[in-house]
Structure 1
Amino acid sequence: MEKKKELLRSLPKVDESMVRLYPVIPEKISSVQLKNIVRQCIERERRKILSDVDNYTALTDEQWQNLFLSQVKQGLRYNLRRVINGTGVVIHTNLGRSLLSDKAAEQLVQCSRHYTNLEFDLSSGKRGSRYSLVEQLICELTGAEAALVVNNNAAAVLLVIDTLAHGKEAIVSRGELVEIGGSFRIPDVMAKSGATLIEVGATNRTHFYDYERAITEETALLLKVHTSNFRILGFTKQVSTEELVTLARDRNIRVMEDLGSGCLLDLSPFGLPKEPTVQEVVKSGADIVTFSGDKLLGGPQAGIIVGKKEVVEQVKKNPLNRALRIDKFTLASLESILRTYYDFDEALLHIPTLRMLTEEAGLIKKRAQKVLRKLKKASIENCTFSLQPTMSQTGGGAIPAYGLESWALQLCPAEVSLNRFESDMRDSALPLIGRIEDNRFLIDFRTILDTDIAELTLLLTEYFIK
């Protein structure tokens, strides 16, 4: 008990600690922020004393100073920060999904620093619609009659089902009732929209007659859902969009298809599996198609709704639409990305997601070799470096269960554990996110940008040469 009291009394005073810190703080920090940091550090040590006083060792003045300075450094960092993606997952949901092209980023900066015609019609001088800024572009690229953009694809799905099937029945194949990242479940979305879910078929096989038998006077929607990363192989059967359109045509029932990632380019000529393009699904006759803007499209987070004009107009009039609308930042970058698609060769070259997905493994190896040569020239003795072939992933629920041939820089530190090294890389001023595989730390160069190379080399060199 006496030891505990003595340790608690020895904890530094907040005001005194701040006075000693001000002369050595490397950057300007507000007194409020500094006081909060000091208090939090002292409180953490107080809890350690109270929880395990017997094993607690009091900090020296120098250790307290280093602890405060370390936390000040952390406090000055932005919470949302740039990282180097060495995972090889191109559309990495946790790392922000698709990267914007240079042109899209430039347009985003322009529209963020200046006033815009967000809802102002420059022709008439009257109030305009923000949706009109990209609707024609989307229609021309997809072949749809009308289009609408909301803040993400989950919102698009919710908005459409609420509009077309609220208080009615929506029929879905049991094999398409998936859950994707963040516990986003199709059945839950349908329940929130006010629609009654009608499951048909079995998990692996659903037939035309399953839908046909399930239709009643209360049926308003036939829904087809992309299964994201979920796949069933072997004895399977699905009903095509064209078949559903045929079934719904004379029954006053709408057909909706959620493509999830959705893409405007057929990437199969580059060796990737064939995925339905938005144009193909629109051409099949579906009334409404939804897809993401920040996955295979390669743009900002958005949910894009395309389809027949009368149906899209219904969706636009739903009061929920205002709560889900996009802002000028999304519009600015999305418009730039869409304009790039008028020339498919330009899209493959300038949209980072498409470029990374279609890049040949040989080019990736050359980029990795640049870094390897520089590291070897640095004469680092406490880590071995080498290149090895590996497999990248598309990510984002797009083109699931398919690996992309790639090359990785393989690291084997001699003086720290792999877990410690991985943690130190995440804690760097410019965090590096890689992966541990077969007792090696791998940096997959499919997702290492040309602009990352110099900083990546410096990060590794400075870490091992101290």
Structure 2
Amino acid sequence: MIDLDLYRKYRLKNVINASGKMTILGVSKVPTDVVSQQKFGDENFFEMSDLVIKTGKYLANLLNAEDAVIVNSASAGIALAVAAVIGKGQLYHVYHPYDNRYIQREVIMPKGQNVDYGAPEELMISLGGGKLVEAGYANMCKSDHLEMQITDQTSAILYVKSHHAVQKSMLSISEAVKIAHEHNLPLILDAAAEEDLNKYLKLDVDIIIFSGAKALEGPASGLVYGKKKYINWIRMQSHGIGRAMKIGKENILGLAAAIERYLKVGPESGKSMQKRLSPFLKNLNQIPYINAREVQDAAGREIYRAAVTVSNDSPNSAIKIVEELKNGDPAIYTREYRVNEGIIEFDIRAVQQNEMEKIINALIKIQRREN
């Protein structure tokens, strides 16, 4: 039940999130049982270093990882991982992360993965004291492209598994791991919005970074897990740049509960999503100047969406429709990545049946209003 009084109190828009697990909208709805463990954290005290270590060990055991640590976001996880592999566990580095004596600062990334996900990947690398070196080209990166960039100043290889990144002609994660390990380098994987927590451990990735608030449906947080040595180095950063990225006790307990729940329940299945999507697509196709079809997530995840193509003779362009939806009451947010092509995508993972009806009614109203 929506507490409309809070929307009124702060003069906020009521929002229907048909864009996906997006930070700009607060990412996910947190389940009640997870919120209850956050509440316990809010109402009690802990030795924080003990809480960080022991929740990490507990989660590592659940995931069959060597170690894990909860941080305040996936972005923080990138910066902390980069700082960790540069400093290699030296306490002096923790206090002086940008000291010129540390020359192994280069972090190699496929060029097509240097994306802006709300902030640039390269900015998080810089925050951790790293220097980005791009490999390959915007539309291609092979193993050879990655390997030719390795020098005696390389500290790590970073791979971004995301729908934001270029998908075609890209070396696989396992190929990137092979190159990294042949040169005694760690592979850092930004898997913020991914869904399979075990997949990348099986590929022998050294440092894996997940957002706690996306697929895992936890509070604002991040999970970093993988090889024990690197996780220890990352934890050390709490006395350095990590101090500015600290996470509260309530969110540590909340994410731990969310991961437990996720491992038992998992995400909504692709079949379930397709079943819910079918009547929505049928109703969308009754709206003038609109053609709707089912599409799968570009990065290959079992996520199915409605892709709406707006016809050229429509009284409203796709761009105009998106703006009208956002300016409505409730405000309806869609996926806008292809709106310049005349295509609007609707992600229904957080959309209920009554909200789908509101989307349909809003679109009918917009399309009947000729400009």
TM-score, length-scaled by structure 2: 0.69
Distance in 1 (alpha carbons) for counterparts of 2:351 and 2:162: 29
Distance in 1 (alpha carbons) for counterparts of 2:227 and 2:270: 31
| Displacement after TM superposition at 1:316 (Å) | 0.9
Tell me the amino acid that sits aligned with residue 399 of structure 1.
A
**For 1:224, what is the secondary structure of its paired residue?**
strand
Distance in 2 (alpha carbons) for counterparts of 1:341 and 1:402: 16
Correspondence list, 1:309-348, <5 A: 309-318=228-237, 319-343=240-264, 346-347=265-266
Q: Unmatched 5+ residue regions in structure 2?
A: 88-101, 311-315
Check whether the contact 2:188–2:207 (CA below 8 A) recurs between aligned residues: yes
Distance in 1 (alpha carbons) for counterparts of 2:171 and 2:268: 33
For 1:211, the equivalent position in structure 2 comes to 147
For 1:97, the equivalent position in structure 2 comes to 27
1:448 and 2:351 correspond: yes
**For 2:256, what is the secondary structure of its paired residue?**
helix
Tell me the amino acid that sits aligned with residue 159 of structure 1.
L
Check whether the contact 2:162–2:299 (CA below 8 A) recurs between aligned residues: no
For 2:59, the equivalent position in structure 1 comes to 138
Correspondence list, 1:288-367, <5 A: 288-318=207-237, 319-343=240-264, 346-347=265-266, 354-355=267-268, 358-366=271-279
1:182 and 2:101 correspond: no
Distance in 1 (alpha carbons) for counterparts of 2:287 and 2:205: 56
Higher radius of gyration, 1 or 2: 1
Select the residue among 187, 199, 203 that pairs with 1:284: 203
| Displacement after TM superposition at 1:157 (Å) | 0.6
**For 1:306, what is the secondary structure of its paired residue?**
strand
For 1:111, the equivalent position in structure 2 comes to 40
| Displacement after TM superposition at 1:432 (Å) | 4.1
Check whether the contact 1:365–1:406 (CA below 8 A) recurs between aligned residues: no
Check whether the contact 2:86–2:130 (CA below 8 A) recurs between aligned residues: yes
Distance in 2 (alpha carbons) for counterparts of 1:441 and 1:202: 28
| Displacement after TM superposition at 1:257 (Å) | 2.3
* Aligned CA-pair RMSD: 4.7
Distance in 2 (alpha carbons) for counterparts of 1:162 and 1:185: 14
For 2:189, the equivalent position in structure 1 comes to 257
Select the residue among 235, 246, 249 that pairs with 2:181: 246
Tell me the amino acid that sits aligned with residue 272 of structure 2.
E
Larger deviation: 313-322 or 282-291? Answer: 282-291
Aligned residues, how many?
A: 333
Distance in 2 (alpha carbons) for counterparts of 1:213 and 1:444: 38
Structure 2 vs 1, CA of residues 147 and 391 (structure 1 numbering), >3 Å: closer, same or farther? same
Per-residue Cα deviation, 1:116-150 (whole angstroms, up to 9, x for no partner): 24x24xxxxxx763314531342134321111121
Select the residue among 129, 134, 148 that pairs with 1:194: 129
For 2:161, the equivalent position in structure 1 comes to 226
Tell me the amino acid that sits aligned with residue 145 of structure 1.
E
Distance in 2 (alpha carbons) for counterparts of 1:313 and 1:138: 15
Per-residue Cα deviation, 1:74-113 (whole angstroms, up to 9, x for no partner): 995425554223x3x33234322222223223444x337x
For 1:154, the equivalent position in structure 2 comes to 75
Tell me the amino acid that sits aligned with residue 223 of structure 1.
L
Structure 2 vs 1, CA of residues 78 and 417 (structure 1 numbering), >3 Å: closer, same or farther? farther
Check whether the contact 1:175–1:205 (CA below 8 A) recurs between aligned residues: yes
| Displacement after TM superposition at 1:227 (Å) | 5.1
Distance in 2 (alpha carbons) for counterparts of 1:440 and 1:310: 46
TM-score, length-scaled by structure 1: 0.57
Tell me the amino acid that sits aligned with residue 179 of structure 1.
V
Q: Unmatched 5+ residue regions in structure 1?
A: 1-72, 121-126, 265-277, 348-353, 373-382, 411-415
Per-residue Cα deviation, 1:195-243 (whole angstroms, up to 9, x for no partner): 2334444441332585267332x33323333354122525x54571441
Structure 2 vs 1, CA of residues 184 and 241 (structure 1 numbering), >3 Å: closer, same or farther? same
For 2:106, the equivalent position in structure 1 comes to 170
Check whether the contact 1:225–1:259 (CA below 8 A) recurs between aligned residues: yes
